[in-house]
Structure 1
Amino acid sequence: MIIFDKTTEQQFEQHLLEISHITEHLNFLSQGDLLGLHKLKRTFQTKVDDFYQKERKLNIGIIGQVKAGKSSFLNTMIFNGEDVLPRASTLKTATLTKIEYSEKNSIEISYYSQKEWQEIEERARVNSELDEYRVAREILSLAQKNSIDIDTYLKKGTEIITFSNEKDLMRELNEYVGENGKITALVKYVTLKINNEALKDISIVDTPGMNDPIASRTDKTKQFMEVCDVVFFLSRGSNFLDQTDMHLLTAQLPQKGVNRLVLISSRYDEAMQDTIDDYDSLEETNIETKKILQSNARIKITQYIEALRNRGMSNDIIQVLEECKNPIFVSSMAHNMSQKEVQSFTEDEKLIMRNLNEHDDLDKDMLIDIGNIREIKRIFGEVIARKEEILIEKTAAFLPLAKKELSQEMKNILTFQKRRLTLLVEHDYESLEQQKKAIASQMQNIKMATTSIFTDIFTKLEMCKADGTQALRQASLEYSNLNERSGTDLEERSHNVSTSKWYNPFSWGTSRKEYYTVEVRYRYLDISDALENIRNFGNESVNTVEEYFQKTLDFHQLKNRLLNTVIENFDPGSEYYDPSYFKLLTEKTIQAIELPIIRINLSEYLKSMGNNFSGEVRNASSKVELQSKLSSHISQLFDEILIQFINEIKVFKEKLTAIDNNFTTQLLKNIIHEYEIVLARFNDKEKEILALQEGVKKLENLTAKKILI
């Protein structure tokens, strides 16, 4: 147990007491007005309780997108490369998994509650392609497919299963969280208790992704992240720090209290496979690929930090992010390959071997270097050794942040009370009713204007679909064809040389065969070109789609158009007019918009091609077969990407429509609510004015710290 000094503990207790006293002083406010204060107290109490629990562990979070390689990363780190943690290939099977030390091996299964399952069933009945509805249908379908007695498991709440070794664990765990597990659909999260000395003093959470659309899992993940000390953020090397990664890193990662953030370029071998043809050796590929990815990280993280500074973000968060400018490059697959003989490689590993051995210079040492697990283990060891220091540093940051949040919340409450007092003093009931109706009318104008803005975007999306489809089709035609290469062989030939001598009649008519070599040129197709065409087409198509979406939606322009629309439709002379409030609401609306991401798995296409051909293809019929196979794969890949592209446009439209509706609805709801609060006070106007004036004074005194607790 970490022993914190008594002064720190007293300061924490004093802050909680201060919030309680402030709440008591503000007993004239409604519970709705005090919600923010209650939430601040609960959050701070949770963090304090977390720190002062017996044998407090160091909480380490592993986060990133689906398919970022989180489970593979942990399998390599903890289980020596064994696939103990199932790799979540779809959102429906992504389950939050906590891993901790225990002398006795066990799995603690936490099932959905009956209420949560009812919510899933309700979402499944909605005919929408939005993630939360689509995934609900998938979960329900998986449960029905496996003929599970749902009520039996939901009533259990939790269940503990013991196991003797890692093989038993793999078998048991797969039933509950594996892609084809019988009970997977009903499991909310699991806790693995493992007798592994490396896990002492730490708690590791393999998250299903911070963008998990299942609310119960997302909530559980966010609850853990609130008390997380160290975060390992995994971004896939072949799509390093793409738009979704930056959104997770900047918008959804709860940075409060995270003492250290380590950025990892995971599945790094894939990034090298994409660039190896540009260099003369694997070593040069390794060096240059790291330079490219690191430059990408520096540019994007620097831009993000600059944006944080402009928003007045604390230096603590900025310092945590600074380390992300120097990402760690990791390939769990390459490390696992370095630990075994070539004969025991899996099909995926054989394919990587072929792709990385382009220059015939891949050996065990190079695999270890590409894997780079030693560096990660060094960092793990370092943070564990600094456990006490990290936790104490974290407590030091708690109080300043909590006081800042409390101060801001008090200012917000004061602003609303002053606004209500002004409306009550300077207006009568009828004029406020008229203003309320006028606001509703103004909202209709805003609604029509914002709908027009989003309609323009929908029109652009249709153009995006047409232009994007054409660009994808053109690219598919280009990458469907292979150019023949020319090569030379040394071919041995022979000819007869006369051995007749004029002076020897017996030699007349004799000859001998002499051999010589000639250079013979030939034409061939190279399988590596076909594999490169597939990779390039897949990557280029994904980038093309993202670029078209980005061109369609100019965030800066949209923000300005929405803000101008609101300002133009409100009377600047109105007592309620507050441009900063409207600006904040508009920014929140923009932040809720996420550009679609296309995800394509090329491994099956590459494996199919690599298994049927190798090296130089010279035979005429084999050339035709190779060309036909490539054309077929590119065509299938084109169809797959196009279906995703069109579907993402449809889903994106649904999301934008919801945002359009919510923008004015929420704005109107907030404003009307304030008017109704003031109108209700007209029953005893003079008394209410005196109460508000007294309340404003109390708030001003509390905000200025004139009342000492």
Structure 2
Amino acid sequence: MIEEQSLSLLKISKGYELYRSSVDEKLLAELQVLASNFKNDALQTQNENRLLRIGIIGQIKRGKSSFLNSLLFNGQDVLPKAATPMTAALTKICYAQQPKALVEFYSKNEWNKVKNLADKAFTKQASYENALLEYQANKAISQKQGVFISSPAKPVISDEEKASIELLNMVKSSGLNVAQYLDTTISLDEVNNNDELVDKLNNYVGASGEFTPIVKSTELHLNIESLRDIEVVDTPGMNDPIISRGRRTQEFIGQCDVVFVLSNSGQFLDQSDMSLLAQNIPNKGIEDIVLIGSLFDGALLDEYHKYPSIQEALPAITTKLNNQAKSNVDKVCNEFSAHHSTEDDNNQSHLMSTLQNALPPIFISSRCYDLAIKPEQSLNEEELHTLNLLNGMFDDFTFNANTFSAVANFTRVTTKLDTVKVKKEQILADRFNNLLIGSKREVKQKLTQIADDVTYKRKNLLEGDVESLAKKQQAVVKRIEAGTVKVNIVFEKYSIQAEKTLTRLLTDINQDAIQVKQVHSQSGSREESYTTSREVSDSSWYNPFSWGSTRTVTSTHYRTVNYTYASVHDAVSKLESFVIETSKALYDVSENAIQLSLFKQDIKASIREMFDFGDDDFDPEMVLMPLNNAVERITIPAVSLDLDAHINTIRQQFTVEQVEGDEIEQLRKEQARVVALLLNDISDELKRCIRLILEKLVIEKNNFVPSLTKDLVTKVEQLKQDLIHKENVLKGYNDVLQNVSTDLTEL
């Protein structure tokens, strides 16, 4: 069955290789990849006695590793957090009586690409610096001559280029001989238990591991009973900046039977989440999706002040988040339905209905799970910080193991996992058919896109001539160029919006810092001991020689002393909280400063307004197809800002628990100094973030209309070439359309 269906899809894709001159090269390549992927995924579904594969997916910084550490490993850091998103590796986890790990390094080709990308970024920077020196040297002369010269534009460094630079810098720092390990997989098997394996593995996936920057994926075999009959895949984040690693992640996701989708509780399934799901999930035959709202403790800390007690806060916030999640999914589904109503988009609408069926999400807190099961003396600094924040929410209320468990909500997750395990045989039995249906759905979509593209080119060839098409194209180009101001207005609108959003955040941070600067003194009392002494007679009646002698007697007494003090621990906790909350706010705001999907919709609308789509003489395809291509080329960087290093700086300022007297004022001065230092660094980083986004928008604005009009001009050039060999080209188009019709009927 697999071989038969694989050959059928492969035959369809290969059938169009004969018409490479007629079919869009990108669509043809995508069709071939679909056929190849189906065979690989289908073979996985039919392995006898195979394990149920569960994928953990989501964007970077959504708590996937923390979730698995809590779910499978009782909060132990078996899956260490990567140093940065650039170093995260895909991890497959399964059961084995004897623990071991397999570590896969990058291939030589993949590492060469990393080096080439880094070199490309360095070259861009060097060219910019040379151009800047030349500009500065000529600026004064030009001004004297009344000539204006513009400063060179800063280079745009892509996320993958940044990642490549970071990986190379990590290798350089460690002095690792990379060539020795590329294209290899090593086994870590000389261990006696899970703990020894985890310790050993830290050098390969830990934040400061020597081999971490060159590890592509790992496979853990652990002696943990809950892993029997299942295999868990922990992905490094679906928005992985390293493309080769991202492809490996997509390959593993395609072979999963169930996926747990993690999204931030406070911004559940936002546009970025939905976009990434749409790229990775449809047509993989995955019908069992479990939605997890992670970092629920963060949502609780953001909202608790609206409620009088934890008993009211928990259900109310959960209900609110449930409603927001449903609203977000419904909104995206409605937008999708409005813009995608044809049969060729059934693959995405299937995803939408699957997500709606998976609601409501399970909101969880891995941190609270750990706090529920760990003794306080074993908590690390981050856990202690969260403990203090949570215990400070409500007067006269202190969390205990039961309330932490209620917030953690892992009982629902384990119940869901048990349900999935029980359904294992049915899930595996249905997997191939679901995959086949999904793959056929996607092949149909690609075939329809090929037919639309060829139909449009065939129409131009039959009905138009170069002169008339050129005139139409020139008229369209002129109208677009004349309406460039409308497009620019959209870019300016989102530039202003992004700058305002980020600048407003700086105002909020400065406001929050006022409270952080304050060090409050407190009154306390303690028992102090003191001694008194007195002279007493030491003579005795039977010893005449002792008569008149005395001795000193001392007595210990206790008294209550009132004093004023300031807690160094409280001061440091406030600073740490400020850094953590600010880091989170900076990341969230910079990531969402521009809603890219709305941005693209507004740009499309601005172009559509330039034309009368009801005019019979107007060919909308002339504009719409190049417009979609131009819009999809727009990218805006999401900036990740890291202030964790400041926490170590803060801790070094204070070495005692409490201070009294003159030292209180010294603590206040030190607190103010550190806050000022933090604000200065935060301000610099935020300004850099604003500058980066605005510069990217300027580049995209300047490139957009030329990019769009270039596509229009290309169509005229293509028609010129087609007319030279009109009969052969027309036959090719007709053959393609006939093939598509036949293939769609057979599918």
Q: TM-score range by the shorter chain?
A: 0.7 to 0.9
Give, in angstroms, the shift of residue 364 of structure 1: 2.7
Which residue of structure 1 aligns with residue 680 of structure 2?
639
Equivalent-residue separation in structure 1 for 2:158 and 2:42 (angstroms): 38
Equivalent-residue separation in structure 2 for 1:168 and 1:414 (angstroms): 58
The answer to whether the 8 Å contact 1:598/1:641 transfers is no
TM-score, normalised to structure 1, is 0.78
Matched position secondary structure for 1:193:
strand
Alignment of 1:244-643 (within 5 A): 246=273, 250-256=277-283, 257-275=285-303, 281-310=309-338, 311-312=340-341, 316-322=350-356, 325-358=359-392, 359-428=396-465, 450=487, 454=491, 457-458=494-495, 469-477=506-514, 480-481=517-518, 535=577, 539=581, 556=598, 559-565=601-607, 568=610, 573=617, 577-582=621-626, 584-585=628-629, 588=632, 592-593=635-636, 596=639, 604=647, 608=651, 621=662, 624=665, 627-628=668-669, 630-643=671-684
Once the two structures are overlaid, the 10-residue window that deviates more, 62-71 or 87-96, is 62-71
Which residue of structure 1 aligns with residue 721 of structure 2?
680
Equivalent-residue separation in structure 2 for 1:693 and 1:336 (angstroms): 63
Give, in angstroms, the shift of residue 149 of structure 1: 1.1
Matched position secondary structure for 1:86:
coil
Of 94, 99, 104, 1:100 maps to: 94
The answer to whether the 8 Å contact 1:88/1:179 transfers is yes
Give, in angstroms, the shift of residue 488 of structure 1: 12
Give, in angstroms, the shift of residue 142 of structure 1: 0.8
Of 12, 32, 35, 1:19 maps to: 12
Give the direction of change, closer, same or farther, for the CA distance of 1:132–1:557 in structure 2 (3 Å limit): closer
The answer to whether the 8 Å contact 1:235/1:245 transfers is no
The answer to whether the 8 Å contact 1:61/1:231 transfers is yes
Matched position secondary structure for 2:181:
helix
Equivalent-residue separation in structure 1 for 2:425 and 2:370 (angstroms): 32
Matched position secondary structure for 2:92:
strand
Which residue of structure 1 aligns with residue 108 of structure 2?
114
The answer to whether the 8 Å contact 1:210/1:252 transfers is no
Aligned residues with identical type, % of pairs: 24
Give the direction of change, closer, same or farther, for the CA distance of 1:271–1:471 in structure 2 (3 Å limit): closer
Which residue of structure 1 aligns with residue 697 of structure 2?
656
Of 18, 33, 37, 2:31 maps to: 37
Letter in 2 for 1:695: D
Matched position secondary structure for 1:568:
coil
Letter in 2 for 1:383: V
Letter in 2 for 1:581: M
Give, in angstroms, the shift of residue 282 of structure 1: 4.6
Which residue of structure 1 aligns with residue 132 of structure 2?
none
The answer to whether the 8 Å contact 1:12/1:48 transfers is no
The answer to whether the 8 Å contact 2:101/2:220 transfers is yes
The answer to whether the 8 Å contact 1:566/1:582 transfers is no
Equivalent-residue separation in structure 1 for 2:570 and 2:358 (angstroms): 34
Give, in angstroms, the shift of residue 148 of structure 1: 0.9
Give, in angstroms, the shift of residue 401 of structure 1: 3.2
Once the two structures are overlaid, the 10-residue window that deviates more, 253-262 or 466-475, is 466-475
Matched position secondary structure for 2:460:
helix
TM-score, normalised to structure 2, is 0.74
Give, in angstroms, the shift of residue 213 of structure 1: 0.8
Equivalent-residue separation in structure 1 for 2:718 and 2:593 (angstroms): 44
Which residue of structure 1 aligns with residue 184 of structure 2?
157
Equivalent-residue separation in structure 2 for 1:410 and 1:466 (angstroms): 47
Equivalent-residue separation in structure 2 for 1:408 and 1:445 (angstroms): 35
Give, in angstroms, the shift of residue 144 of structure 1: 0.9
Give the direction of change, closer, same or farther, for the CA distance of 1:696–1:368 in structure 2 (3 Å limit): closer
Letter in 2 for 1:37: L
Equivalent-residue separation in structure 1 for 2:496 and 2:172 (angstroms): 40
Number of equivalent positions: 665
2:133 counterpart of 1:140 = no
The answer to whether the 8 Å contact 2:565/2:664 transfers is no
Equivalent-residue separation in structure 2 for 1:298 and 1:599 (angstroms): 31
Equivalent-residue separation in structure 2 for 1:121 and 1:658 (angstroms): 25
Give, in angstroms, the shift of residue 180 of structure 1: 0.9
Once the two structures are overlaid, the 10-residue window that deviates more, 274-283 or 207-216, is 274-283
Give, in angstroms, the shift of residue 286 of structure 1: 3.8
Give, in angstroms, the shift of residue 191 of structure 1: 1.4
1:661-701 C-alpha deviation (Å, 9 max, x unpaired): 66456545654554444433334434544x25742662474
1:501-535 C-alpha deviation (Å, 9 max, x unpaired): xxxxxxxxxxxxxxxxxxx9x99999879957974
Once the two structures are overlaid, the 10-residue window that deviates more, 96-105 or 13-22, is 13-22
Equivalent-residue separation in structure 2 for 1:697 and 1:90 (angstroms): 49
Which residue of structure 2 aligns with residue 188 of structure 1?
216
2:271 counterpart of 1:227 = no
The answer to whether the 8 Å contact 2:94/2:220 transfers is yes
Letter in 2 for 1:158: T
Give, in angstroms, the shift of residue 270 of structure 1: 4.1
Matched position secondary structure for 2:268:
coil
Letter in 2 for 1:179: A
The answer to whether the 8 Å contact 1:609/1:629 transfers is no
Give the direction of change, closer, same or farther, for the CA distance of 1:636–1:62 in structure 2 (3 Å limit): farther
The answer to whether the 8 Å contact 1:84/1:169 transfers is no
Which residue of structure 2 aligns with residue 170 of structure 1?
198
1:582-602 C-alpha deviation (Å, 9 max, x unpaired): 564466356x44665656659
Letter in 1 for 2:167: I
Once the two structures are overlaid, the 10-residue window that deviates more, 184-193 or 635-644, is 635-644
Letter in 2 for 1:320: T
Give, in angstroms, the shift of residue 145 of structure 1: 0.9
Equivalent-residue separation in structure 2 for 1:269 and 1:460 (angstroms): 30
Letter in 1 for 2:689: E
Give, in angstroms, the shift of residue 141 of structure 1: 1.0
Once the two structures are overlaid, the 10-residue window that deviates more, 75-84 or 536-545, is 536-545
Once the two structures are overlaid, the 10-residue window that deviates more, 91-100 or 593-602, is 593-602
Which residue of structure 2 aligns with residue 695 of structure 1?
735
Q: Which runs of 5+ in 2 are unaligned?
A: 126-155, 526-561
Equivalent-residue separation in structure 2 for 1:680 and 1:669 (angstroms): 17
Give the direction of change, closer, same or farther, for the CA distance of 1:307–1:428 in structure 2 (3 Å limit): closer
Compute the RMSD of aligned alpha carbons. Answer: 4.6
